Amino acid sequence: MKKAAVILLGVILLAGVVLTGEYGLSEENTKIYESAVALEAQVEEIGFDTFHISDYPVAYYDGDKDYVLTVEDGEVVTAKRKPVLNAIAATAYPVEEHYEVLVPTVERMSSLVGMASLGEADYTEADQVATLWHEAFHCFQLTNYEAQVIALAGNGVEEAMIASEVDDNAAAVDNITLQLEVLEAAVKEADVDKKKEYILQYEELEKEREVLLEADVLQTEKYYVTVEGSAYYIESKVCEIQDETAAWIKYVDTIGTYHDGSAKYYQKGMAICRLLDELKPDWKAEYDFSESLETYLFNEV
């Protein structure tokens, strides 16, 4: 009798745990995906006409499973599967014959950002929407310009190389700090002629850079500026659609700030895309990633 009561208590507790638990993908994640898809018409106006987030499945990783979201006949469809990457990462990843956006769920991203910044930074739904567009742009690059992206990567991209060859090189740091400041001034400058003067200054600094660094380091920089910088540009524009003032503070006001690691190249690439928007508004119709954004800017403007 006592044994039966003990077993019954265990069964009741277990049932309570199972019944009160939350399973599957939270509604918040689905809403974020729907919000991202809802921006398609506005993002199309940015200029990459054939770029649509709904062309690429979005897989949310919750620590155990991938939840793959797609749009079918105007409806969001969710499918569960074993995780293809099984790690926290926001990336574009080949799955079968296509590329997919792999991102952690907003809950996971939020704890990661909170913990990495020791509670200083928040990760909002708007941030997650912008991240989805950022990674979707990588899917677009790899689907349409894979050969060019691989060529830009040269012998392979290693972020550790940036730390050892650039961040620890005082002359290279001074040079790129100046470049970033010039780019921020150029983006904020209203006068077209002055904008072009800034670009010439930037080009001069880039030539100095070619003397300071080895060829493979320069190639890695070009890759980051072009591939990541353009995706960062899309991310910033998506943020701008959602909240123009917040996007300006987060992205444009920080162009001139030097950061260790690859972040500074994201800033450079985004700034160049913004300059091209003003000086060659139709650039996205012809740009095919066969040359770096910098080379394209110097040739075209």
Binding interface with another protein (CB under 8 A): 6, 9-10, 13-14, 16-17, 20-22, 61, 63, 85-88, 104, 108, 111-112, 115, 117-120
**To the nearest whole angstrom, how small is the minimum distance from the Cβ of residue 98 to another protein?**
22
CA atoms within 13 A on the CB side of 176: 30
* Closer Cβ to another protein, 66 or 240, answer by number: 66
Least distance (Å) between residue 120 CB and another protein: 4
CB of 85 to another protein, least distance (A): 7
What are the DSSP calls for 110-128, one per residue? HHHHHHHTTT-----HHHH
Measured in residues, the chain has a length of 301
Q: How is residue 245 written in tokens?
A: 């003032």
Q: What's the min distance (Å) between Cβ of 260 and another protein?
A: 17
* CB-nearer residue toward another protein: 46 or 102: 102
Residue 13, burial from CB neighbour count under 10 angstroms (0-12, 13-18, 19+): exposed
For residues 63 and 52, give the distance between their C-alpha atoms in angstroms, rounded to a whole number: 27
Q: Which is nearer to another protein, 27 or 120 (CB)?
A: 120
Q: 86 vs 290, which CB is nearer to another protein? A: 86
Q: How far is the CB of 279 from another protein (least distance, A)?
A: 40
Q: How far apart are CA 268 and CA 256, in angstroms?
A: 9
Cβ-contact 32, 131 below 8 angstroms? no
Nearer to another protein, 104 or 269 (CB): 104
- As measured in angstroms, the least distance from the Cβ of 3 to another protein is 10
User: Cβ closer to another protein: 108 or 188?
Assistant: 108
Please give the Cα distance from 169 to 49 (Å, whole number): 40
Nearer to another protein, 61 or 232 (CB): 61
CB 294 within 8 A of CB 272: yes
Least distance (Å) between residue 280 CB and another protein: 41
Sheet holding 66-72, edge to edge: 75-81, 66-72, 58-61, 98-104, 91-95
CB 94 to another protein: min, Å = 17
**What is the tally of helices (H) and strands (E) in the chain?**
15, 5
77-107 exposure pattern, b = at least 16 Cβ within 10 A, e = fewer: eeeeeeeeeeeeebebbebeeebbbbbbbbe
Q: Identify the sign of the CA torsion 113, 117, 123, 127.
A: negative
> Which one, 28 or 278, has the nearer CB to another protein?
28
State which amino acid sits at residue 108. Answer: R
